[in-house]
Amino acid sequence: MSRVRRLSPALFLAALALGAPPPPGPTLDVWPGRPPGETRTLPAEAEQTRPTDKLVAGRPVLRLGNVSTPQLTVHRPEPRLDTGAAVLICPGGGFNILAYDLEGTEVAAWLNGLGVTGIVLKYRVPARDPARRWLAAAQDAQRAMSLVRAKAGEWGLRTDRLGILGFSAGGATAAYTALAAERLYPAVDATDTVAWRPDFALLIYTGGFVERGQTTLSGVMPVGPGAPPMFLVHAFDDAVPVQNSLLLAAELRRQGGSAEVHVYDAGGHGYGLRPDPALPVTSWPERAAAWLGRRGLLDRAGR
């Protein structure tokens, strides 16, 4: 009981939500036809979870593979809580699979508890381009952000409160979407005339900016002026180097941007937001909720 009493309201909502995911709202295809660059047919999309896979907080992870039809699934909060804010969620999985519940639907449930619409992005995996493993995912996320912005009026969302959140490879996907200076694919319809850049970004144990063994930014996606404010979380002992978050935040500051960074001494990788009293890093949803609140994103004024 003492552990429960120490949880903040935000984290307590998250813990409750993990046991009861919200019913999904509409699901939309990201593309009107075949996604850009697709040249081959993969086996059917399927869950690839195995009994020998690592558990997270004592529970299995739904590993979704062979995604060829990118989709958005919208999870709405209760009307009495709705702030008009929405977050596009990019699960991780090394651009091989998607950790679809751990870093997708469970995150939508947490956001719903804060009054935020959670929109889970099912982007293409495995990676299509060996030299640019991130490209198909980033194309899907750019298009998805434009689609969410285009649908904001229909869905009752505020166009100044549309963010993105990603984990690991999904963190790179989210960050590249927030930083890209141009669209990463040829426009296909009117949706691609709508801005893709999110209003804010949360990057949880992100990769994609520093190669292992290196101490400088890779330059794959340069950080330029006008980047949205970012919230970053990393564990010092993560096999994905903590420098990904630290150096990205430093470059954001150099370019006149804003970042809040939380680095914990231990926690490894892939914990999602499943609470574990032995790992303080799993309290990051409390920090994130406070950051969102300070930015006025959880304010229901005018709703």
In the chain, pLDDT over 70 holds for what percent of residues?
91
pLDDT digits (tens, 9 = 90+) for 92-107: 999 999 999 999 999 9
pLDDT above 80: residue 8: no
pLDDT above 50: residue 70: yes
The encoded tokens of residue 17 equal: 């939500």
Q: Hey, is 72 helix, strand or coil? A: strand
pLDDT at 211: 86
pLDDT digits (tens, 9 = 90+) for 148-171: 999 999 999 999 999 999 999 999
pLDDT at 272: 97
pLDDT digits (tens, 9 = 90+) for 172-217: 999 999 999 999 999 999 999 999 999 999 999 999 999 888 888 9
pLDDT at 6: 33
Q: What average pLDDT score do residues 138-152 get? A: 98
pLDDT at 21: 56
Mean pLDDT value across the chain: 91
Integer-rounded Cα Rg, in Å, for the chain is: 18
pLDDT above 90: residue 19: no
pTM recorded for the entire structure = 0.92
**Distance (Å, rounded) from C-alpha 175 to C-alpha 181?**
12
Contact between 281 and 266 (Cβ < 8 Å): yes
**Distance (Å, rounded) from C-alpha 199 to C-alpha 230?**
9
Residue 136 per-residue DSSP state: H
pLDDT at 7: 33
pLDDT digits (tens, 9 = 90+) for 220-264: 998 988 999 999 999 999 999 999 999 999 999 999 999 999 999
pLDDT above 60: residue 11: no
Q: What average pLDDT score do residues 22-43 get? A: 88
**Distance (Å, rounded) from C-alpha 25 to C-alpha 145?**
17
pLDDT at 9: 42
Q: Exposed (0-12), middle (13-18) or buried (19+): which is 58, by Cβ within 10 Å?
A: exposed
Where do the domains of the chain lie, and which CATH numbers do they carry? 2-294 (3.40.50.1820)
